[in-house]
Amino acid sequence: MTLQKILKSRLMWPVAMLVVLLLCALIFSDGFFDIRIQDGHLFGTPVNILRASAPLVLVAIGMTLVISTGGIDLSVGSVMAVSGAMACLIIGDLSNQNSVGGVAVAVVAAIALSLVLGLWNGFLVAVLGIQPIIATLILMVAGRGLAQLITSGQIINVQSSPYKVIGAGYVLGLPVSVLIAAVVLAITVLLTRRTALGLLLESVGGSPVASRLAGIQARRFTVMVYIASAACAGIAGLIYSSNVSSADGNNAGNLIELDAILAVVIGGTALTGGRFSLAGTTLGALLIATLDTTAQSVGIPPEATLVFKAVVVVVLCLAQSATFRAMLFRRSTPRPAARAEVPA
Amino acid sequence: MGEPPAVLEMTGIQKIFPGVVALDGVDFRLLPGEIHALMGENGAGKSTLIKVLTGVYGIDGGDIKLSGRDVLFTGPLQAQEAGISTVYQEVNLCANLSVAENIFIGRQPRRFGRIQWSEMRKRSAGLLARLDLDLDVSAPLNTYSLAVQQMVAIARAVDIEAKVLILDEPTSSLDASEVAQLFAIMRRLRDSGVAILFVSHFLDQIYEVADRITVLRNGALIGEYRTAELPQVELVRKMIGKELATLEQLESRPRESAEQIERGEPILRAEQLGRDGAIAPFDLTIHAGEVVGLAGLLGSGRTELARLLFGADKADSGKLELDGKPVSMRSPRAAMAHGIAFSSENRRTEGVIGELTVRENIILALQAARGWTRPIAKRRQDQLVGKYIKALQIRPDNPEIPVRNLSGGNQQKVLLARWLITEPKLLIIDEPTRGIDVGAKAEIQRLVAELSSGGMAVLFVSAELEEVLRLSHKIEVLRDRRLVEELDNTGDVDADRIMRTIASGATS
């Protein structure tokens, strides 16, 4: 890979920003990169970042698929809440909360409910033709209500060690939540890039009319991506709720849809649909999670954290903007040849 | 002989896209009070030159002088303010706004910051009256036909005090009388001193209206000529740079007798198939190896008929039989499963997918038919794509560039390739040669002839009667959304005969 190719890559700026952030952390925060093994588990700030980012990575993966078809899913946070509530409701009613079978039933039920919610979104968008932002806004609002109904407006606390494993457990020294996110990412990459799914999704996002005339079942794919998005959100909801051993209908996944959309956009997928990059999305999600953690560890006061985050995001977006770069470079060098577009 | 100083002078224009040199040191000038035709094949650089001139693209080298002064436009608005108005090939208006709003968009007459609607409507009506158009200016633009929308675009361009008016294929969607009307307007504007840059693929139109011709080929300037001093054959030779062998060969192609083909089994039979408001119930039979031409004016139901056969729209009456078995065409996908392919007339919105690569666009239909779980192996893809890039001479021949970087004619070829690799039994092609140049047109016609002699049935839709006549074994004539006559294309059928049917609607 030549230097020029790297510079042109869509992933160049998010990677650069991540490196800069980590460098800052290295300089300003002692022991940031200290990773130690304790009781056979990995511990340290980088591991915490990965753990903290797992739900966001999951939600952003689903969001990427939805956005690639030209849609958007605002309901992911609510689906997280519903999923966690459902699982905790079932576990709370178990005679033995530590029964592995009982927890498995709870997990399957929670994910199944998420799939139904995704199907609902897909139905509204693909069959009834409601604009995605409106269609998913319905569930974004209604889903919180549903979650509160499930928990009867209370926070349900559970004491279940098998359930705790999902969000806070370790396997082979690695956090289970990170492994789950990695597995879902791997499966999604395989499904989209090793089959023709990715191409067909990009085609639907590029032009639904032309895709239909080329024999692509645009409607079916649209329903599929909303189901996939809800499934990802459902899993993320389980991780979140397992980590705190409770179901909180109000705060679980609150505003995560915005972080997820941001992650997708940072990763180089356009909101208008078409080409998508799962690697980019993952980077974007990691970047956002790193921002939160680094802000604390380099000593930025909590009240300024959001401002810090905003500044980084603005700088990143400017760096990614072809127009802005052209403005910067035009001043210094009147270029003989246009090299604005990147052949894919 | 004294020529007036050029109103526009472009020298040494250079424009490079990734993988393509679109313009290579092109000179171009426009004199006031002339109609100047810009000619060239697809990909010759005509559209790029126009986009450079109107500020849509920046340039990588060269100068542009307007009225003797150096200019560098950074956007279409700037060019417009400097007096360069453009009407693009595909109507660039807001179809959901009213006619008057479209004409005055961005420069509505105002008083104290408020838009003066009545003033705007009055001026719009006056302006359209000058073009002999009688429209309800407060009706949304999309209530009018594409042809009328085009005229509105021209009205808008004319009203802006234009020194230079660029018409990029304004006639491709107009019928004969509308073209005549347009030409009258163009001549009037020319006589008032406006310099008009005119792009069209219809040679007859060029010779009818243009004073001067500039020819481009492969991004380079071939020359500038007076129309009167350049015979048509010469012009075509300069444009395609090779002998007209293919065209002439096609011209002399003996038409196979219709009876010979009719002996084979029909592969498609429609009986009183129709759709309310789109096309009246019609009967149609297509045999293997047969080219059936659909002739008729714009809006006569040509496309609507084709869409019914492909399942793009659902029929609400009649029966359809394929290979002797009744089928209901629920969706394009169902039609594809029966071996029918359909290449739409709107290649930009219903055909290619701009941001996907040439390769991806070509394999799309085949991949869709196989389903997402059975991807076409990369090696097979390369083989198929390479074959058709070569066979159809798609330029540039790099399969990995986004298809939007290709010229219109090459996009059309990509679309054809997409369908050909599905090996259909019946290929429906709607206006495959619209807006593309002579060379590519001949190639596509040759291809259709070849496919049909290979046993494929082709339903060929075109506004150009000559083309339909040249290729078809059988011609279906449409008028006012009805199929009015079926003509076997034997020796005694000519364009006049078809036009009489279109005009009268009755069979004689």
Whether B443 maps to a domain, the answer reads no
Q: Which of A185, A231, A225 is nearest to A201 (CA)?
A: A225
pLDDT (0 to 100) of residue B296: 80
Give the number of A-B residue pairs with CB atoms closer than 8 Å: 105
Beta-strand ranges (E) seen in B211-335 are 212-217, 220-226, 266-275, 279-287, 291-295, 317-322, 325-327
Asked if A196's CB is within 8 angstroms of B356's CB, the reply is no
Give me the sign of the Cα torsion angle B34, B40, B46, B47. positive
C-beta atoms of A344 and B333 within 8 A: no
- Boundaries of domain holding B96: 8-242
Return the pLDDT at A3: 61
Confidence check: pLDDT of B205 > 80: yes
Is residue A96 classed exposed, middle or buried when 0-12, 13-18 and 19+ CB atoms within 10 A define those classes?
exposed
Same domain as B85, residue B134: yes
Helix (H) / strand (E) element for B164: namely: strand B164-168
Closest partner residue to A344 (CB to CB) among B17, B333, B357 is B357
Any idea which residue has 């309310």 for tokens? Answer: B276
Q: What angle do helix axes A305-320 and A12-28 make, rounded to 10 degrees?
A: 150
Q: Which residue has the tokens 């588990």?
A: A41
Q: Is B416 on the interface with A (CB under 8 A)?
A: no
Q: How far is CA A338 from the centre of its chain?
A: 35
Does one domain contain both B247 and B232? no
Q: Residue A304 above 90 pLDDT?
A: no
Structure confidence by residue, pLDDT tens digits, A181-210: 999 999 999 999 999 999 999 999 999 999
User: Nearest CA to CA, how far is B331 from chain A (Å)?
Assistant: 8
Residue B443: pLDDT band (50, 70, 90) is: confident
Verify whether the Cβ–Cβ distance B336 to A215 is below 8 Å: yes
| Same structural domain, B75 and B135 | yes
CATH number at residue B464: 3.40.50.300
Helix (H) or strand (E) holding B343: strand B340-343
The answer to whether residue A338 scores a pLDDT higher than 70 is: no
Q: Report whether pLDDT(A131) > 90.
A: yes
Residue B151 included in any domain: yes
- Examine the domain organization and report whether B324 and B472 are in the same domain: yes
Q: Could A210 and B312 be called an inter-chain contact, meaning their C-beta atoms sit closer than 8 Å? A: no
- Mean pLDDT, rounded, for A306-326: 82
pLDDT more than 70, % of chain B: 91
B7 vs B218: which has the higher pLDDT: B7
| B231 min Cα distance to partner chain A (Å) | 38
Q: A233 vs chain B: nearest CA distance in angstroms?
A: 24
The model's pLDDT over B392-435, given as tens digits with 9 standing for 90+, comes to 888 888 999 999 988 888 898 999 999 999 999 999 999 888 76
Task: Examine the domain organization and report whether B413 and B468 are in the same domain.
Answer: no
Whose structure tokens read 């705060």? A251
Q: How far apart are CA B365 and CA B333, in angstroms?
A: 9
Give the bridge partners for A37, in sequence order: A42
Interface probe for B, chosen from A199, A204, A275, A277 (most Cβ of B below 10 Å), is: A199
pLDDT of the residue at B247: 52
pLDDT at residue A89, as a whole number: 95
What is the reported pLDDT for A59?
98
* pLDDT at res. B409: 81
Are B488 and B258 a contacting pair, CB within 8 Å?
yes
B416 and B467 assigned to the same domain:
no
- CB pair distance less than 8 Å for A196 and B332: no
Interchain CB contact of B342 with A (< 8 Å): yes
B338 chain-A contacts, CB cut-off 8 A: none
Of chain A, the end-to-end C-alpha distance in Å amounts to 15
Q: Which residues of B touch A214 (CB under 8 A)?
A: 332, 364-365, 368, 418
- Across the interface, do A216 and B364 touch by the CB < 8 Å criterion? yes
Residue B332: list chain A partners with CB under 8 A.
212-215
What's the whole-number average pLDDT of chain A?
Answer: 88
| B257, part of any domain | yes
Same domain, B356 and B335: no
In this prediction, residues A171-176 reach a mean pLDDT of: 90
Q: Say yes or no: B364 contacts chain A, CB-CB below 8 A.
A: yes
Residue B293 lies in a domain: yes
| Cα-Cα-Cα-Cα dihedral sign, residues B267, B269, B273, B279 | positive
Within-domain flag for B446: no
What domains can be seen in chain A, in order of their start residue? 54-299 (1.10.3470)
Separation of alpha carbons A159 and B175, rounded Å: 78
- Taking contacts as CB-CB distances below 8 angstroms, the residues of chain A near B16 are 337-338
Query: Which range is least confidently modeled, B41-45, B211-215, B330-334?
Result: B41-45
Say whether residue B427 is in contact with chain A using an 8 A CB cutoff.
no
Domain identity same for B502 and B461? yes
Which of A31-40, B180-189, B251-260 is predicted most confidently?
B180-189
Nearest by CB to residue B368, choosing from A206, A215, A274, is A215
**B72 in contact with A at a CB cutoff of 8 Å?**
no
B226 and B354 co-located in one domain: no
pLDDT at A1 over 70: no
**B237 and B251, same domain (yes or no):** no
Q: Which amino acid, A312?
A: V
Question: Would you state the pLDDT for residue A7?
Answer: 59
Query: CB-based contact (8 Å) between B367 and chain A?
Result: yes
**Crossing angle between the packed helical segments A218-244 and A100-122, to the nearest 10 degrees:** 140
Q: Evaluate if residue B306 carries a pLDDT over 60.
A: yes
- Examine the pLDDT at B10 and tell me if it is beyond 70: yes
* B350:A199 CB<8 A: no
* B371-380 contacts, C-beta under 8 A, 24 or more apart: B371/A196, B372/A195, B372/A196, B372/A197, B372/A200, B372/A221, B373/A195, B373/A196, B374/A195, B374/A196, B375/A194, B375/A195, B375/A196, B376/A196
Q: Which range, A9-13, A75-79, B202-206, B294-298, is most confident?
A: A75-79
Where residue B263 falls among pLDDT bands split at 50, 70, 90?
low
Residues B223 and B260 in one domain: no
Beta-carbon contacts of A85 under 8 Å, excluding residues fewer than 6 positions away, are A147, A148, A150, A151, A156, A241, A247, A249, A252
Lowest-confidence segment of A104-113, A236-245, B247-256, B368-377 by average pLDDT: B247-256
Asked if A76 and A49 count as a contact pair (C-beta separation under 8 A), the reply is no
Contact list, A343 vs chain B (CB under 8 Å): 18-19, 398, 400-402
* Residue B463 neighbours by CB under 8 Å, 6+ apart: B297, B298, B431, B434
Residues of A in contact with B354 (CB under 8 A): 206-207
Task: For B494, list phi and psi in degrees, rounded to 5.
Answer: -140, 180
Chain position carrying tokens 């056969």: B309
Q: How many domains does chain B have?
A: 3
Specify whether B308 is located in the same domain as B355. no
CB contact under 8 A, B353 and A195: no
* Residue found under tokens 């490079």: B16
pLDDT above 70: residue A2: no
Chain A positions contacting chain B at CB under 8 Å are 194-197, 199-200, 202-203, 206-207, 209-217, 221, 274-275, 335-339, 341-344
Mean pLDDT value across residues A98-106: 94
Q: Are strands B8-17 and A170-171 parallel, antiparallel or unpaired?
A: unpaired
Contact B375 A275 (CB under 8 A): no
The answer to whether residue B251 scores a pLDDT higher than 90 is no
Angle at alpha carbon of residue B448, lines to B203 and B271, rounded to 5°: 110
**Do the domain assignments include residue B499?**
yes
The verdict on a CB contact (< 8 Å) between B402 and A196 is no
- Judged by DSSP in three states, B473 sits in coil
Residue B141 lies in a domain: yes
Nearest CA in chain A to B358: A344
Peptide bond into B396 cis (omega under 30): yes
B349–A210: do the CB atoms touch at under 8 Å?
Answer: yes
Stretch (H or E) spanning A110: helix A100-122
Q: Are A273 and A70 in contact (CB under 8 A)?
A: yes
CB contact under 8 A, B418 and A203: no
Calpha distance B30→B239 (Å, rounded): 20
The structure's pTM equals 0.77
pLDDT, one tens digit per residue, over B450-506 is 888 888 999 999 877 778 888 898 999 988 788 988 988 877 787 778 877 877 765
Spell out the SS3 assignment of B323-339: CCEEECCCCHHHHHHCC
Q: Give the closest-approach CA distance of A14 to chain B in angstroms.
A: 22
| Contact between residue A57 and residue A180 where contact means Cβ atoms under 8 Å apart | no
Q: Which residue from B60, B350, B368 is facing A200, i.e. has the nearest CB?
A: B368
Considering the domain boundaries, does residue B31 fall inside one?
yes
B251 to chain A, any CB pair closer than 8 A? The answer is: no
